[in-house]
Structure 1
Amino acid sequence: MSRDVSAPVPVFKLYGEGQDWLTPDLLHCETIPKRSRLYHWEIQPHRHADLCQLLYVHAGQAEIEVEGQRRLITESALQVVPPLYVHGFRFSEDIEGYVITLAAPLVSELKALLGASGEVLAAPANYPAGADRDYLNSLVSALQREYSQDAPGRDLALHSLINVLVVWVSRQMMQRSSAAQSMERGREYLNGFTRLVEAQFRQQPSVEQLAHATGISVAHLNNVCRDLAGQSALQIMHQRLLLEAKRNLIYTSMTVSQVSDSLGFTDPAYFSRFFRRLAGVSPRAFRQVASSAPSFSADH
């Protein structure tokens, strides 16, 4: 998908149709092959002045470009393309799916019905169908079927189906937003926890104490640590103790008993068992191996 960057981006009502809107309906629905086959499965970059498009890929592959950003779709997904965004598509010849085009009055109506979540139609985004693959395909197939015939209640059926489809998209956006907010809060909690660990590891506080100081439960803290750091809260605390123990054994002349005491262990024997369990060797063996290893000069 490439174009002459010095040439103006074409503005279409529907791709290849110039400025004419071909239907009295406020939406247009067709299969992806119907139009893309005419252009050898490639829709060159273009934009729509006042139309929003929902591209649903059910099977096959699609390369989607929006404002120069490309994405390869190999699984069922729905792509939102708002008005004025430059976009283009390249499809495999076995592509299955639909393109739904919404006129500005219908977009405004849907936004009003959805409230804040109506902004889902204002920004380009790709939403994998996942477990809803068959559900989405049935929904959009029904929409296309209603669109292509003139049965009683057609307008009501079309509005009902497009409402359901846009609700699905808005829910995906809200789930994504909620997950992003949860991730950001998780990072804040993890950063707060690691700062507390760094400040207090020598006193060996309990996980409960640090969880309380972080402002969350022990279970929540462990979930955050496992999700973002791949370790439990206690493992993170133990790794910080181990790191300091190794540094003391390598860079100081402290005895094992002194290292144990400096790190808040009341029993050197327990410290040695702790060290061996995490490092695989005793503190003395670790020091011997480290002292015999070749040192690196500043030139290396």
Structure 2
Amino acid sequence: MVAKAAIPVFKLYGESLDWPTPDLLHSESIPARSRLHHWEIEPHRHADLCQLLFLYRGTAEVELEGQARTLREPALQVVPPLCVHGFRFSEDVDGYVVTLAAPLVALLHQQLGSAPAPLTQAGTWLAGADADYLYSLFSTLQAEYQTDQPGRDLQLRSIINLLVVWISRRHLQRQAGAQVPERGREQLRRFNQLVEHSFRQHPAVEDLAHQVGVSVTSLNTLCRELAGQSALQIIHQRLLLEAKRELIYTTLSINQLADSLGFADPAYFSRFFRRLTGLSPRAFRQREPNETGLTSAH
């Protein structure tokens, strides 16, 4: 899809097609419109309309402001007003496009209160486990849109409310996820400081988690995500590093070394060391220096 020199501004899908309904929304299936255009909607924009495109099956190449992305799994695409966009679909596509007029968008955002306004910016939201739930909402909205039953307007608004709440919550989750790494790095840094100060005392993970200000589960999740190890493994690796240093750079006996590292039983220290390295402390000490994995820089 290549944008033309002048991006057309459509009221809906064509320059001659005015807003086709007295409602503040319009709904149709993806095949109903794209089949007429050989499965491709060329780049264009809407002056005052927001679109929700839900892909349930098939593939969709989505172009937003010159950037293309191919969707191959259920997803909901938000296209805000004035965003240049185009689509290309596979012929087996299944899904819906709901177009919202500006007054309805404003009302929806007002109802969300202090939550982010999710319809003001482009966003691609993978449906995941909610694919069937979203499909039921869109298909129910489409069926209701085509009828003239009592309470139709209320039903349409109710379904749109559910969809916008779903998008808003995903938006909040994404924002929270973007904030976690920075906060997480600071918490991991604090944990590593505590380990460095106390590893010879073999601190309990529960005690360190309390000092960091997180639960044990959260601390382990954090350590695995950012360090690739559990909290206990980090403590053990620090002990192991110190044991290797002492074995290489000092003449302490195995008993003295075990005592200096907080092991009351030298035999337990030897089992600990062998479990993590495959060697006894004595065998490790007898290896050539360049085989130990440590250099004088340590």
- Contact 1:211 1:217 (8 Å CA) reproduced: yes
Cα shift readout 1:42-66 (whole Å, capped 9, x = no counterpart): 2233222211110011111112232
1:23–1:236 Cα change, 3 Å = same
SS in 2 for 1:189: helix
Hey, what does 2:97 align to over in structure 1?
A: 99
Q: How many pairs does the alignment contain?
A: 292
1:133–1:242 Cα change, 3 Å = same
Match of 2:240 among 233, 242, 248: 242
For 1:25 and 1:191, the matched residues in 2 are separated by: 55
Cα shift readout 1:52-84 (whole Å, capped 9, x = no counterpart): 110011111112232344332222221111112
Shift of 1:280: 1.3
Q: TM-score, normalised by structure 2?
A: 0.85
Q: Percent identity among equivalent residues?
A: 64
Letter in 2 for 1:79: Q
Shift of 1:93: 0.8
SS in 1 for 2:10: coil
1:90–1:267 Cα change, 3 Å = same
| Corresponding position: 1:254 with 2:257 | no
Q: TM-score, normalised by structure 1?
A: 0.84
For 1:36 and 1:280, the matched residues in 2 are separated by: 63
Hey, what does 2:279 align to over in structure 1?
A: 281
Hey, what does 2:133 align to over in structure 1?
A: 135
- Contact 1:61 1:72 (8 Å CA) reproduced: yes
Where do residues 160-175 of structure 1 align in structure 2 (5 Å cutoff)? 160-175=158-173
For 1:82 and 1:164, the matched residues in 2 are separated by: 18
Hey, what does 1:23 align to over in structure 2?
A: 21
Shift of 1:180: 4.6
Structure 2: give runs of 5+ residues left out of the alignment.
294-298
- Contact 2:116 2:171 (8 Å CA) reproduced: no
| Corresponding position: 1:263 with 2:274 | no
SS in 2 for 1:80: strand
Match of 1:9 among 7, 10, 22: 7
Hey, what does 1:298 align to over in structure 2?
A: none
Shift of 1:239: 0.9
Letter in 1 for 2:32: K
Shift of 1:279: 1.0
Shift of 1:135: 2.3
SS in 2 for 1:21: coil
For 1:51 and 1:129, the matched residues in 2 are separated by: 23
Report which stretch shifted further, 260-269 or 46-55: 260-269
Letter in 2 for 1:191: R
1:256–1:82 Cα change, 3 Å = farther
SS in 2 for 1:120: coil
Letter in 2 for 1:269: A
Letter in 2 for 1:136: L
Where do residues 1-300 of structure 1 align in structure 2 (5 Å cutoff)? 1-3=1-3, 7-17=5-15, 20-117=18-115, 119-181=117-179, 184-250=182-248, 252-257=249-254, 259-291=257-289, 293=291
SS in 2 for 1:23: coil
Structure 1: give runs of 5+ residues left out of the alignment.
296-300
1:2–1:201 Cα change, 3 Å = farther
SS in 1 for 2:243: helix
For 1:168 and 1:239, the matched residues in 2 are separated by: 43
